[in-house]
Structure 1
Amino acid sequence: MAMTLAIVGTGVIGAGWAARALAHGLDVVAYDPGPDAEAKLRAAVDNAWGALERSGLAPGADRKRLSFAASVAEAVGKADFIQENAPEREELKQDLLAEIDAAAPAGAVIASSTSGLLPSRLQARMQRPGRLVVGHPFNPVYLLPLVEVLGGKATSPEAVETAKAFYASIGMRPLHVRVEIEGFVADRLMEALWREALWLVNDGVATTEEIDAAVVYGCGLRWSLMGTFLTFHLAGGEGGMRHMLHQFGPALKLPWTKLVAPELTEELIDRVADGCEHQAAGRPIKELERRRDDFLIEVMALAKKYWPEAEGLEGRI
């Protein structure tokens, strides 16, 4: 029997979920109240489909298995799993999740794609809060495997395990965030780099293009395999991380970073936006997305040969 995923909210993230699920042979029922939402969703899925074909479709994968509902209740009424993707406004999500909860089958897990809101607060208005989890993906959802999974104070352990199993079934790597914390794990790391990058632009140290080059041709290549800690472990030579910390630890007290974000003045916004437009060189977003997807498919095909699961070291990086 085919599994049905309900998608509520079909922006960039919701469309990415839809494309991934369809590529893995699921039925997808979607809802979004925005103007031309269905047409935009189908266009987004079409734009992603070429990349998904190259990365490999599961048996039964078919864009025709996508349908668009006229209401939240219609979308979730027969769903096996529900993914909410509304804008990052807490009250909006609380109301929407309560509406989903009232209409969804009793056994369906409800997941929110929020990138930082706490599930304990999101489930506050639900009649059955035990089935609410956060399932935070990364863009493009249809290619990147990481999904952060965490529950709130009322979430049942079974809901978390069900969510992890579902995400794994559609080719994702669930990361169970065991402590409820704003921003979870990955976004807190990215936010630190983002704030520092804004300061470098704000202070006239580097352009957006130069900062991106520092990541693309340097640390980014290492991070795609080893992440932060194992990279520094190697930096310590034969002594590993312990030697690295003793040798370079004192530098942590030096004023190398500014983790408080700079004021987003119009001047800074212009410099950042103009820099990005220069980097884009007139190429439209859809073209840049396809270029990114082509790259990700090739680099992930290489990385998978070296990821821990390929060596029987699941859970280790």
Structure 2
Amino acid sequence: MSVDKKKALGKGLSALLDDSTSINSQKSYTAPETGGVGHNNNGLGSVNEIRIAEIEINPFQPRTDFDEQALIELAESIKVQGLIQPITVRRVNSHSYQLISGERRLRASKRAGLNTIPAYIRTANDQQMLEMALIENIQRENLNAMEVALSFQRMLDECGLKQEELGERVSKNRSTVTNYLRLLKLPPSIQASIRDGDISMGHARALITITDPIKQVHLHQQILQHGLSVRKVEEMVRDLQQGNAQKKEARKPEPVSFQIQKIQDDLASKFSTKVKLKVSNKGAGSIEIPFLSQDDLTRILEMLDW
């Protein structure tokens, strides 16, 4: 193996694995030319060549979609160059391992026809496995926003983390974490569009600020039908919110004068029910005396000497 390949081993994993995996241990690894197995039963933290057939898929893997063409391309690369970055596993027993991270590399290695694969072996409990698998996937550039959001939520729910702790784990500030988590409150049709790449994170952030799900879905449909830009959607959301504010302002009742309020209170006390006076600018108006039942109406009519 070339010096460049040795340096590349484990790149990106050092931030995730806090054990004895180091540059020195990486240099000790040499891939067998014949594809034989180089088990190191005491090699926790070092790179070992283990049988692919002995590796179980990580049950905590949050990633469910793997690009078929990308797997084919990676498999072809592995046939020519070998696997540069080892996978990470935990030992179940002497001849059984469970994958912690690197499922895409494992799948491509199987396609490439490999019988063995280089792997870091480490000790991890179920929660650590889940956390490492989630963090590895979150740090992938091609992970869609919904996968990130769901991974964040799983880390909060299943790893018992707070948002601040989650942000530290994934090197993101709390506002970014919050924005992703808010995606999970959007209607399912919008979440599906984010997942499929039909709308961007920018579109989603604008839609989140609308509180009415029906209006969210309506604007979402307009985005899809007319290919609206993020800026255009933001403008439409602002107009919608301003329109709602104006409607609320228009619905505000006219302030009641002290004199009218005094009459209302006196009548309410007399009839033992809420009384409302409506008086126009010209002095005309009406008196509303609500009743709760037929008996209540009879009581009020008797008081009016009806």
Larger RCO of the pair (alpha carbons < 8 Å, separation 6+): 1
TM-score greater than 0.5 by the shorter chain: no
Larger radius of gyration: 2
**Alignment TM-score, normalising by the size of structure 2:** 0.30
TM-score (norm 1): 0.29
